[in-house]
Amino acid sequence: FEELQVKLPEWEVKSEQLKEKLKESEVKLGDSEERLEKSEKSLQELQQKLQQSQVKLEVSEDVLRQSEQKYLNIFNAVPASLILLDPHGTVVDVNEWHLSHFEPPGTSREDLLGKDFSNYPPNLKMGLSRKLAELLEGRPFEARNLSLPLGEAGAKRVFDVVGVPRFDLDGEIVGGLLVYLDISQRRELEREALEARRLVAVRDLASSIAHELSQPIQGLMALGEMTTPGKVEDKHWELVAAITEWLYDLVQGLKHSYLSEGQDQSPPAE
């Protein structure tokens, strides 16, 4: 009993220490519970943000799909050959016009994707290798009136080729866009228009010549008819008459010929 009395104060001290530790544990537990509540709240907020981000991502994906579809619609609606290249000159995309008008029948988009466009045969034939190298260095170019035989018959077609470099937001070169514009029909129309203008000019010239010379020629002929025979040798008048009649017929023939070629149906003025 005496030993217990001696140890009792020690036990009381330890009991108090345990109580203090218990209080500290309770405080820590309370802090942990508070932190847990905060963590749960943060987790809920994070889940809400993730849900919002998911919604935004879905909206962005939808916008991206719409933008991509608009891009494809525009890309494929352009009546010219369009080729997108990466910085190494590899084909990234081509439009449908290029496939249907520039490539052999049966060529698909996948046949060209990933191909080295610097060795593309039409480019080599048109001498565009140096221009393509400049394009991939960030320099645009324009090459006009380039002839290229296409198709089984090898008929020559004329192209204007434009190269535009593509840059990212940091100004780094990310490739280029090539545009091959077939101007063969336009060149033919220009040639026909030029020929029509030439015919009109010749017709006007012929009309002017006929108008200016018809009266002097007729005067010479009248002079020959009115001159008293014997004052001038007959052979001279015969020569003058032959030359003037030949010149008159020549001018009138020229006039009628070009009026007909110019599709002018009005009767020529005599």
Q: Based on C-alpha coordinates, what's the Rg of the chain?
A: 47
Structure tokens at 256: 């009628």
pLDDT by residue (tens digit) across 94-109?
Answer: 998 889 888 888 899 8
Tell me, yes or no, whether 228 and 244 share the same domain: yes
* CA 145 – CA 159 distance, rounded (Å): 5
User: What stretch of H or E contains 162?
Assistant: strand 155-167
Tell me, yes or no, whether 178 and 105 share the same domain: yes
Tell me, yes or no, whether 213 and 176 share the same domain: no
Tell me, yes or no, whether 87 and 130 share the same domain: yes
Task: List residues bridging with 186 in a β-sheet.
Answer: none
Order the strands of the 173-182 sheet from edge to edge: 91-94, 81-85, 173-182, 155-167, 141-150
* CA 220 – CA 76 distance, rounded (Å): 71
Is 269 a member of any domain? no
Planar angle of CA 127, 130, 134, nearest 5 degrees? 140
* CA 254 – CA 209 distance, rounded (Å): 10
Tell me, yes or no, whether 82 and 68 share the same domain: no
* CA 66 – CA 60 distance, rounded (Å): 10
Q: Which domain holds residue 235?
A: 189-261
Per-residue pLDDT, 230: 52
Task: List residues bridging with 82 in a β-sheet.
Answer: 179
* CA 153 – CA 126 distance, rounded (Å): 18
Domain boundary among 21, 56, 77: 77
pLDDT by residue (tens digit) across 167-216?
Answer: 988 889 999 999 988 887 766 666 666 676 766 665 665 565 555 555 55
Q: Residue 47 pLDDT more than 90?
A: no
Calculate the dihedral angle through the C-alpha atoms of 92, 97, 101, 105, rounding to the nearest 10 degrees. 70
Per-residue pLDDT, 220: 55
Tell me, yes or no, whether 82 and 55 share the same domain: no
Query: Could you identify the residue written with the tokens 């070169």?
Result: 173
Task: Give pTM, 2 decimals.
Answer: 0.50
